[in-house]
Chain A
Amino acid sequence: MTSSVFSLVAGRLTATAVTLLIVSLAVFVATSLLPGDTATILLGQAATPDAVEGLRKAMHLDEPAALRYVFWIAGLFHGDLGTSYANNMPVAQLIGARLVNSMKLAGVTTLFSVPLALVLGITAAIFRGTLYDRVVTFLTIGLISVPEFVVATTAVLIFSVYLHWLPALAFANEIHSVVQLLRVFAMPVITLTFVVAAQMIRMTRAAMIEMLGTHYVEMALLKGASRSRIVLRHALPNALGPIVNAMALSLSYLLGGVIIVETIFNYPGIAKLMVDGVATRDLPLVQSCAMIFCIGFLILTTLADIVAILANPRLR
């Protein structure tokens, strides 16, 4: 058992390097395809040819893009994420605090949404076809089908503007106690839970139903095992592979995809930083963010695969 997990992790580590390289190449190509460079974007409407040329020279953007990319990769091996084109600050410094903010938000949302999704998904599968199942389905689909910005804005209108219970903005720097943490995170976490929990609930339900219909669960039922025992000891372990994969996919959204929540609650996270980086063609910044998202995603999927192997003895 441990050996298969070990070989998986070892294999993944090698593959990770390759995946990261593919991502950075893809990001490089994508960014090069976009019109303009940092100099023209920063100058905006004031971008006369000589102004652009001067600024390019000052920012060392006159060297070929491919060469700059290779230098950036080389720097990466020394743990140097490079310097932002747009403001000349070290990328590591720009990302630092904002990555921590993003991780905090993602962590709290995970703690909140995963247990919720498991409970709702499994119970909906057990009581499949009942009113309870329908209500859960109706609500989960109903909630994700409302665009995120509507959920967030409605929450702010109700809880901040009319009731004055919670702050409309999530000031990350004003968290000094658990109560403040809850007040600041309440609305962003609820909004994100709406988004990520639905997928987990639906996939848990579907995978569980699939497992509850298999022969050996039916066998166990015939042998007279109790319902909860069947669910927890027989069906769940076998359904866990797809479920954790669905969870990995959902949770990976929490790092790079939370741009709307970051914008509406003015929460300084890494998703908005990357979008800004794309807008200013700040390649070192965009590359570094993409690497972080990719690593986060790979960690989640690798964890999912490990859980799947551990849960299903046949995969070992």
Chain B
Amino acid sequence: MSHEPPVNWTAADDRRVEDAIRRGATRRDLLRMLMAGGVSLAVGGSVLTRAGRAMADTPVSGGALKVAGITGSNADTLDPAKAANSTDYTRICAFYNRLTFLAKGGTLQMELADSIDTTDAKVWTVKLKKGVTFHDGKPLTSADVVFSLNRHLDPNVGSKVAKIAKQMTEVKAIDPLTVQITLAGANADLPTILAMHQFMIVADGTTDFSKGNGTGAFTVETFQPGVRSVGLKNKNYFKSTGPHVDSFEFFAISDETARVNALLSGDIQMASAIDPRSVKLVNSQPGFQVSTTSAGGYTNLNIRLDTDPGTRAGFIEGMKYLVNREQIQKAVLRGMADIGNDQPISPANPFYNAGLKAKTFDPDRAKSLFKKAGVLGTSIPIIASDAADNSVDMAVVLQQAGADIGMTFDVQRVPSDGYWDKYWLVAPISFGNINPRPTPDLLFSLLYASDAPWNESKYKDPKFDKMLIEARGLLDQAKRKEIYGEMQVMVSENAGTIIPAYMTNIDALSGKLHGLEPNPLGGMMGYAFAEYVWLTA
């Protein structure tokens, strides 16, 4: 391939150029920008060709798409309510549809819904599209939507979003194509919430989900939990835009190196979630490239505020100064991250408070704070596990910084197996791992409200709770942004959750695969890529 980038060109630079193109920069603007940075005209041109490749193509039909995810087990499911990880998300996105869909840039689009309207953010009217059918031929009606939403409230279902669905106090059919959703309190985010993977629409009365009978772009040909799934193009798909490929096979290769090798050898066309260290390898091979998504997922260090040493004044603040965010971003995540400022809203989110700066690495200040807390010279255990991505490496960076100021951190690597049960939310200091979520309300309600189910640091503030409810019901986005901005400051200053960086998701793909775009719900177009991408020979 003649489009070789300059030697020290990184994927992050590609990302910057691609972002600039998306913002509307012309080729001439970009070349001027690159040449100002000392890049020759010829090289600059090839960089732009690379970056522009994915954006200027027209779809072609046909081909067998094979993609490898990162995790798979006997617990793989096609039940949207139980969907737990990227593998489940990818499959249900291929076989089902949601009422709404978050497209690139976080813009809300209608999928099965034709419109969603409200006057008070409390009572919502959902109109469904006409002529949509399930794979078994049954037409989509309001009864299916009522069934799909209500089943999250049934504890026997084991829904992952039971807590979120709880606010839907009544879901009823008005006519065959109209559903009315009544909420316990006003929530302007309902259309975005309905774009979450678990809220996929299934057929009324379904009990056996292994058939994957949805309205989605592919019909289930094979589904073997822990082995693979194969979907065939849905000939009756209600969208005219897709799918482009004839079949879609998905399976997990949990070993990262093996996943990248499978891509480079041509066995698959995309390998999801690769290590930043593999980017150089993928880019060095002709005909392969990486696609990056900043969705805002993170690994954080949680110090409980209700137990020693988190109760000691100054300890948590000291830890916030001792975490070397820059080193974590550079050495652990190899630049594939944005530096975090200890609150869950990432720069990828429109509600991000850009005025809130991250604390700088200041070991001397940390030392005096630890002295004040009376912990200097003691040994503090920190629980890390491979269950929380990169947490062991982050712990080691912290441990080293501690060693330099006379602070001993006893890093305990514990098994991934049972981690969320036994250590997370339990140990005084442990790591968590939070997946991207589309709205500030979801993140704050799940993680920081006084009654939050995953209140990682046991943060409790009645004022915060009041602001959360107030912002939830507001339809005025500017006012919301102001409140959410203030809440970010509160969490950043007072909670015991240290969020050093928001991680970038990196997928590696063959040059034959086109049409992949970044998405706020996560890598691989929020896992919904299968119906949007196409293959060329």
In the complex they form, whether A and B have CB atoms below 8 Å apart is answered with yes
Of B75-83, B89-97, B470-478, B522-530, the stretch lying at the interface with chain A is: B75-83
Which of B210, B251, B255 contacts A264, CB < 8 Å?
Answer: B255
Give complex CA distance A89, B77 in Å: 11
Whole-angstrom distance between the Cβ of B103 and the nearest chain A Cβ: 26
- Please name all residues of chain A whose beta carbon is closer than 8 Å to the beta carbon of B420 when the two chains form the complex: 44-45, 47
Q: Is B37 among interface residues, defined by CB-CB distance under 8 A?
A: no
Give complex CA distance A161, B266 in Å: 8
Given contacts A42-B75, A87-B225, A276-B74, contact A48 B453 (CB under 8 A): yes
Q: In residues 147-193 of chain B, which contact A (Cβ within 8 Å)?
A: 154-163
Q: Is B378 among interface residues, defined by CB-CB distance under 8 A?
A: no
Q: In residues 20-62 of chain A, which contact B (Cβ within 8 Å)?
A: 34-36, 39-48, 50-51, 53-55, 57-58
Q: In residues 476-534 of chain B, which contact A (Cβ within 8 Å)?
A: none
Given contacts A34-B418, A276-B226, contact A51 B155 (CB under 8 A): yes
Given contacts A36-B422, A42-B84, A54-B154, contact A168 B74 (CB under 8 A): no
Q: Name which residue of chain A comes closest to B251, CB basis.
A: A266
Of A109-117, A152-160, A212-220, the stretch lying at the interface with chain B is: A152-160
Contact B75 A153 (CB under 8 A): no
Binary interface encoding of chain B residues 222-255 relative to chain A, with 1 for a CB under 8 A from any of its CBs, else 0: 0011111000000000000000000000010111
Q: Is B40 among interface residues, defined by CB-CB distance under 8 A?
A: no
Contact B158 A42 (CB under 8 A): yes
Of A126-134, A189-197, A277-285, A292-300, the stretch lying at the interface with chain B is: A277-285
Q: Is B311 among interface residues, defined by CB-CB distance under 8 A?
A: no
Give complex CA distance A57, B454 in Å: 23
Which of A152, A156, A278 contacts B417, CB < 8 Å?
Answer: A278
Q: Is A104 among interface residues, defined by CB-CB distance under 8 A?
A: no
Give complex CA distance A87, B159 in Å: 14
Given contacts A42-B75, A84-B74, contact A48 B163 (CB under 8 A): yes
Q: Is B258 among interface residues, defined by CB-CB distance under 8 A?
A: yes
Q: Is B424 among interface residues, defined by CB-CB distance under 8 A?
A: yes
Q: Is A180 among interface residues, defined by CB-CB distance under 8 A?
A: no
Q: Name which residue of chain A comes closest to B253, CB basis.
A: A266
- Please name all residues of chain A whose beta carbon is closer than 8 Å to the beta carbon of B227 when the two chains form the complex: 98, 268
Contact A58 B418 (CB under 8 A): no
Which of B82, B160, B261, B265 contacts A153, CB < 8 Å?
Answer: B261
Which of A35, A50, A86, A273 contacts B421, CB < 8 Å?
Answer: A35
Q: Is B257 among interface residues, defined by CB-CB distance under 8 A?
A: yes
Contact A87 B74 (CB under 8 A): yes
Q: Is B73 among interface residues, defined by CB-CB distance under 8 A?
A: yes
Give complex CA distance A87, B84 in Å: 13
Whole-angstrom distance between the Cβ of B266 and the nearest chain A Cβ: 7
Q: Name which residue of chain B comes closest to A152, CB basis.
A: B258
Q: Is A164 among interface residues, defined by CB-CB distance under 8 A?
A: yes
Give complex CA distance A89, B156 in Å: 17
- Please name all residues of chain A whose beta carbon is closer than 8 Å to the beta carbon of B364 when the two chains form the complex: none
Q: Name which residue of chain B comes closest to A34, CB basis.
A: B418
Q: Is A143 among interface residues, defined by CB-CB distance under 8 A?
A: no
- Please name all residues of chain A whose beta carbon is closer than 8 Å to the beta carbon of B424 when the two chains form the complex: 45
Q: Name which residue of chain B comes closest to A93, CB basis.
A: B224
Contact B74 A282 (CB under 8 A): yes
Contact A55 B265 (CB under 8 A): no
Contact A51 B73 (CB under 8 A): no
- Please name all residues of chain B whose beta carbon is closer than 8 Å to the beta carbon of A41 when the two chains form the complex: 75, 418, 421
Q: Name which residue of chain A comes closest to B77, CB basis.
A: A87
Contact B266 A94 (CB under 8 A): no
Contact B74 A273 (CB under 8 A): yes
Q: Name which residue of chain A comes closest to B156, CB basis.
A: A58
Whole-angstrom distance between the Cβ of B386 and the nearest chain A Cβ: 13
Could you say which interface size class chain B belongs to? 35 or more
Could you say which interface size class chain A belongs to? 35 or more
Contact A161 B264 (CB under 8 A): yes
Give complex CA distance A152, B65 in Å: 25
Contact A280 B258 (CB under 8 A): no
- Please name all residues of chain A whose beta carbon is closer than 8 Å to the beta carbon of B160 when the two chains form the complex: 43-44, 46
Contact B258 A266 (CB under 8 A): yes
Which of B155, B257, B267, B422 contacts A169, CB < 8 Å?
Answer: B267
Q: In residues 246-281 of chain A, which contact B (Cβ within 8 Å)?
A: 263-266, 268, 272-273, 276-280
Q: Is B262 among interface residues, defined by CB-CB distance under 8 A?
A: yes
- Please name all residues of chain B whose beta carbon is closer than 8 Å to the beta carbon of A263 when the two chains form the complex: 253-255, 258
Contact A285 B74 (CB under 8 A): yes
- Please name all residues of chain B whose beta carbon is closer than 8 Å to the beta carbon of A46 when the two chains form the complex: 160-163, 453
- Per DSSP, chain B at the interface is loop
Q: Is A90 among interface residues, defined by CB-CB distance under 8 A?
A: no
Contact A280 B74 (CB under 8 A): yes
Give complex CA distance A51, B166 in Å: 12
Contact A36 B421 (CB under 8 A): yes
Binary interface encoding of chain A residues 212-232 relative to chain B, with 1 for a CB under 8 A from any of its CBs, else 0: 000000000000000000000
Q: In residues 142-180 of chain A, which contact B (Cβ within 8 Å)?
A: 149, 152-153, 156-157, 160-161, 164, 167-169
- Please name all residues of chain B whose beta carbon is closer than 8 Å to the beta carbon of A86 when the two chains form the complex: 73-75, 225
- Please name all residues of chain A whose beta carbon is closer than 8 Å to the beta carbon of B418 when the two chains form the complex: 34-36, 41
Give complex CA distance A89, B74 in Å: 10
Give complex CA distance A146, B184 in Å: 61
Whole-angstrom distance between the Cβ of A77 and the nearest chain B Cβ: 24
- Please name all residues of chain A whose beta carbon is closer than 8 Å to the beta carbon of B210 when the two chains form the complex: 87, 89
- Please name all residues of chain A whose beta carbon is closer than 8 Å to the beta carbon of B82 when the two chains form the complex: 42
Give complex CA distance A44, B387 in Å: 11
Give complex CA distance A86, B420 in Å: 17
Contact B226 A47 (CB under 8 A): no
Contact B253 A279 (CB under 8 A): no
Give complex CA distance A264, B253 in Å: 7
Q: Name which residue of chain B comes closest to A57, CB basis.
A: B156
Give complex CA distance A153, B262 in Å: 11
Contact B254 A57 (CB under 8 A): no
Binary interface encoding of chain B residues 40-82 relative to chain A, with 1 for a CB under 8 A from any of its CBs, else 0: 0000000000000000000000000000100001111100001
Interface centre among A39, A42, A46 (most CB of B within 10 A): A46
Give complex CA distance A299, B302 in Å: 51
Give complex CA distance A35, B265 in Å: 40
Whole-angstrom distance between the Cβ of A6 and the nearest chain B Cβ: 41
Which of A43, A164, A169 contacts B253, CB < 8 Å?
Answer: A169
Contact B158 A39 (CB under 8 A): yes
Which of A58, A157, A272 contacts B157, CB < 8 Å?
Answer: A58
Q: Name which residue of chain A comes closest to B432, CB basis.
A: A45
Binary interface encoding of chain B residues 395-433 relative to chain A, with 1 for a CB under 8 A from any of its CBs, else 0: 000000000000000000000011011101000000000
Give complex CA distance A42, B421 in Å: 11
Interface centre among B75, B254, B261 (most CB of A within 10 A): B75
Contact B75 A276 (CB under 8 A): yes
Whole-angstrom distance between the Cβ of A93 and the nearest chain B Cβ: 10
10 A-B pairs within 8 Å (CB atoms) are namely: A41-B421, A46-B163, A50-B155, A55-B156, A87-B75, A153-B257, A160-B264, A167-B265, A279-B417, A280-B73
Ranked nearest first, the 7 interchain pairs of A and B with the lowest CB-CB distance are A54-B155, A58-B156, A160-B265, A55-B158, A35-B418, A36-B421, A276-B73
- Additional 8 contacts, C-beta under 8 A, given A263-B258, A282-B74: A41-B421, A51-B155, A87-B225, A149-B255, A160-B264, A168-B267, A268-B228, A280-B74
